[in-house]
Chains A and B, each alone.
Chain A
Amino acid sequence: MTSADLISELQTARPIAGHALRDRVRSIAESTPEPRPSLAARLSLRRISLVAVPAAAALAIAGAGAIGLARSDGVARDAVSNQLTTQTEDATRSKESTAPPELGLAGPATAQTVSPGALPPSTTRPQRYAAELTLEVAGSDELSRATQRALTIMRSLGGYVVQTSFDTQGDSGTSSLVLRVPTAKVQEAIVRISELGTIVSQRVSIEDLGAQIDELGRQEAVLAGEIARLEKQLARDDLTPEERATHRARLVGARSELAQVRALQAQSREEARYATVSLALRTDEAAAVPATPSRIDRALDEAASILAWEGIAVLYAIVIAGPFVLLGLGLWLTARTRRRRDDERLLASS
């Protein structure tokens, strides 16, 4: 008998369950309500993994995104707050720089910061007029041309250069000019200079010098009167040598003080006659400063940071729990292998 014959005979004589067993099984099936498939059966481990893993990843990403977005708002507020603080500090420094000049001459000084051309200098009162202008030009060639043009404009308006510096590297560079221009023509100067490039920042500071000059005038009058009185007394013949010496000393001091007051008056008038224009020119490349990241960028950065921390946490959990999981898996596999070997041995001996 060949293997094929054996197989054929085995398949032909396929056992059939008896009626008693069939009835018993039917009664089993009919006696108890058929249980519905459990959730565990419907959701296999693979299916749960297919849903749970992407869901967990999506949750992690969404959480990181939400936190990142929330934090970016806080960062933005901080940035704005810092910016405002800086601006306030700038304004404070600006006011300090435009404070009434030396000698402690009292008098209300009014400092204002306005856009060029928005507030022209007064035609009736003396003022200290200072303008700061930052312009951006295309390249080093344009920087050179704009610098030359600014000087030409100044000279054509009757002004002069106080300080200048010019620095280029390749196609980038900066140029700094401190110019003095007749106050009466400062508006025109600013307008014409502004056309040399793109305005990056601009500031005009106006300080009233009228009170200061008036005070100096009063001091001058007082000193002049004092000098006249001293000269009159010195002209008398009845003075003792000591009194004459004292009056002479006072006269010398008064004349010296008067000369100082008059110099200050002249200086103040000169300041009022000429406005200071500080011009900074720079190329695009030189002006390139790190851009403040947008809220989306900040949110993405924050989200990436949080995701990195989540990854670290998961890695940490794997490192901590991994050995225990592997040990448990190993024990389970060993027990299963041993049970199967025992079963095989049992069946092989039966």
Chain B
Amino acid sequence: MTLTRTARQSVTPLTFAAAAEAHLDDVFGYLLYLTRDRDVADDLAGSTFEKALRLWNRFDPRRGSARTWLLGIARSTALDWFRAEARRQRREQAAAVPELHEEGFVEGLSPELEQALAGLSASEREVIALRIVLELDGDAAARVLGISPTAVSTRLSRALKRLEEKVRNDDLG
């Protein structure tokens, strides 16, 4: 990690290496929740950082943190993967639900919670990942998702309600 300070700027300019080191787990965790597949999350995280390095000269700390910026790139990378996956499934005339590893995609979670998470949509999982797991504030999450902070709150509320219902249903079952 390289930290440099210029006399002209009072803020510490962040290097790409430092940003990658600091936010690797966040990017990986977000992609894992989104895809529910560790291998895919690994690949997408690698692709995310490759893309991020190419775009690093466009990063402007005044417009948002490196974490938010990297998560935005991760989302874009994940969406590309989802589109490609959807095309692949259409070609193979497979079912609408992609064949993903649905068990044990997050270490340390109870089977009930993990199963309930698997029952949520990627859209619901990503808002939980951003707001609960990575603990982004409403504005940062809104910036990553490209929606308003109010919409983020609404989406999170619904996602948590569904997650709770699914866990409860699983307990009852």
Interface residues, chain A, with chain B CB atoms under 8 Å away? 1-3, 6-7, 9-18, 20-22, 24-26, 28-30, 32, 34-38, 40-42, 44, 340, 343-344, 346-350
By the criterion of a CB under 8 Å from any partner CB, how many residues of chain B are at the interface? 61
Chain A residue at minimal CB-CB distance from B109: A13
Q: Are B63 and A44 in contact (CB under 8 A)?
A: yes
CB < 8 Å neighbour of B21 from A21, A26, A349: A26
* Chain A interface mostly: helix
CA distance A6 to B120 in the complex (A): 14
Chain A CB within 8 A of B5 CB? no
Interface residues, chain B, with chain A CB atoms under 8 Å away? 15-17, 20-21, 24-25, 27-29, 32-34, 38, 41-42, 45-46, 49-50, 53-54, 56-60, 62-63, 79, 82-83, 85-86, 96, 98, 106-110, 112-113, 121-124, 126, 128, 132-135, 146-147, 160, 163-164, 167-168, 171
Instruction: Contacts A29-B17, A34-B15, A350-B121 given; indicate if A10 touches B28 (C-beta within 8 A).
Output: no
Instruction: Contacts A25-B20, A28-B49 given; indicate if A12 touches B123 (C-beta within 8 A).
Output: no
Q: Are B24 and A21 in contact (CB under 8 A)?
A: yes
CA distance A344 to B121 in the complex (A): 10
The 24 sampled A-B contact pairs (Cβ below 8 Å) are: A6-B113, A10-B128, A11-B133, A13-B107, A15-B25, A17-B28, A18-B38, A25-B46, A25-B49, A26-B17, A29-B16, A35-B53, A35-B56, A37-B59, A37-B60, A40-B58, A41-B57, A41-B58, A41-B60, A340-B147, A344-B123, A346-B83, A347-B122, A347-B126
Q: Are A13 and B146 in contact (CB under 8 A)?
A: no
Q: Are A6 and B163 in contact (CB under 8 A)?
A: yes
Instruction: Contacts A10-B132, A35-B57 given; indicate if A3 touches B160 (C-beta within 8 A).
Output: yes
CB < 8 Å neighbour of B42 from A20, A28, A38: A20
CA distance A40 to B79 in the complex (A): 26
CB < 8 Å neighbour of A10 from B98, B109, B123: B109
Residues of B within 8 A of A18 (CB): 38, 42
Residues of B within 8 A of A26 (CB): 17, 20-21
